[in-house]
Amino acid sequence: MLHVVSFLVLFPPFSLAFTADEVKNLTKYIFATNAYDKSLRPASNQVSPTDLKVSFNLLSINKLDELEEKLVTTAYLTLSWKDEFLTWDRTEFRINKLTLPQNWVWKPDFVLKNGFTEFKELGGSFYYVVLAFDGTLSWKPYQVFQSQCSIDVTYFPFDTQTCNIQFTMWSHYTYQVTLSSSSSSVEMDDYKVNKVWKITSTSQNIDNSGSNSIVTYTLNLKRKPGFYVGNLVTPILFLGVLNILVFIIPADAGEKMSYCVTVALGFIVFLTIISSELPANSDSTPYLSKYLQIQIFMGGIALVISAVQLRLRHKSEQQKVYTPFKLLVNAAFCKKFKAKVSCKDKATPVYEQNKEIQDMKTYDDPITYTWNEVSSAIDFVMFWIYIFVYCISTITIMTILKN
């Protein structure tokens, strides 16, 4: 049918010019004389199905709402079918095609099956359909479709989504109306590029096997991550780095604790932001949320350790350092080794003046351990552990997300 139309478009003055009176005569002939009944499916044999050719011309993706799981698209459908009662002899009437109001003819009850709203009639009272002499009708309803689209945010913001836009003949069974198409995918000629979603591919699937014919248009969408990388991922990675800095701040600077709490609350704020931007989905969790939860957990551990460090730091210096902490200091600073080698070096420039005291101490306990050193040792060890965990978790998440 499309070929016929385009043929007519290209060669409109097929026959000689025709007048308005001739059109009036023709419409009178096909509607009044033939007693056209627009409620009756236009097939002379009522058990042979009418074939409805459909094509979906996507104009733009208005919105993909992750929260409501709704895809809003602007598109126009091209529907064409053969009305066996609206034919005429073009040699007699010298007219190839007519432009008629849509309400004059039978129309299929073709509806959006997976919509958010009640079925709406396509087109409107001011639409026209184009009717060719062989009864082929062409109708181009322009609509804004709100279709349901199940969103999988696991890989957010590097996610791909598959959205279906499904149409069906609601009241006509397959033995009454079948669907077909001259193209094999969504028509994208007039498509206006979306700034967040890239259409990687589209497909069309027509199913005439069920009780009602169904045509499914599938849009495979890939999110362009730039925006979210700049405004969500980068700040989160940045906050993760702040977590590590905790162990650079010395415990006696009097700022460690408040630093920790501020960073921890910053993380919780970000968790709230992410959870408000994504759907409340208990079936799958975005890896980004999981990453944040790991960071929050690490922040919590850092808080506990910092509090303990403060407590140790303010222990009276008379209290001896417990053995596990001694081992930790040894591990962190190779204290034992240094004590033998470099402490000697350090001792020399002090001009032997406090030699006796030092000797005396070395006698009692060859290496002294202060709580200050313990605190520094904890900082040292935790710093490298946190750098390690941060790198591993970040690389892992990024690898998962990008694939």
Please give the residues from 168 up to 197 whose contact with a copy of itself meets the rule CB under 8 A: 170-173, 175-176, 192-193, 195-196
The DSSP annotation for 84-134 comes to TTS---HHHH---EEEEEGGGS----EEETTBSS----SS-TT-EEEEETT
Closer to a copy of itself by CB, 144 or 392: give it: 144
CB of 136 to a copy of itself, least distance (A): 15
Q: For a copy of itself, how many residues bind (rule: CB under 8 A)?
A: 129
Stretch that binds a copy of itself, among 213-221, 251-259, 328-336, 386-394 (CB under 8 A): 251-259
How far is the CA of 325 from the CAs of 194, 273, 282, in angstroms?
59, 40, 44
Closest by CA to 219, choosing from 67, 53, 72, is 72
Alpha-carbon separation of residue 257 from 212, 296, 311, 318, 341 (angstroms) = 67, 15, 11, 25, 36
Q: Which helix or strand (DSSP H or E) is residue 46 part of? A: none
Write the interaction track for a copy of itself spanning residues 42-71; mark x where CB under 8 A is met and - where it is not. xxxxxxx-----------x-xx----xx--
| 104 makes contact with a copy of itself (CB under 8 A) | yes
Placement of tokens 């200050």 in the chain: 372
**Secondary structure class of 151 (helix, strand, coil):** coil
Q: Return the residue of 209, 282, 323, 399 that touches a copy of itself, per CB under 8 A.
A: 282
Residue written as token pair 């059109």: 23
Region of 93-101, 179-187, 200-208, 391-399 interacting with a copy of itself (CB under 8 A): 93-101
Find the binding residues for a copy of itself in span 16-45 (CB under 8 A): 17-24, 27, 35, 37, 39-45
- Nearer to a copy of itself by C-beta: 314 or 344? 314
For 146, phi then psi, to 5°, come to -110, 100
Residue 172 vs 326, nearer CB to a copy of itself = 172
For a copy of itself, give the closer residue by CB, 144 or 184: 144
Give the one residue of 89, 317, 356, 364 binding a copy of itself; rule: CB under 8 A. Answer: 364
Q: Which residue, 253 or 403, has its beta carbon nearer to a copy of itself? A: 253
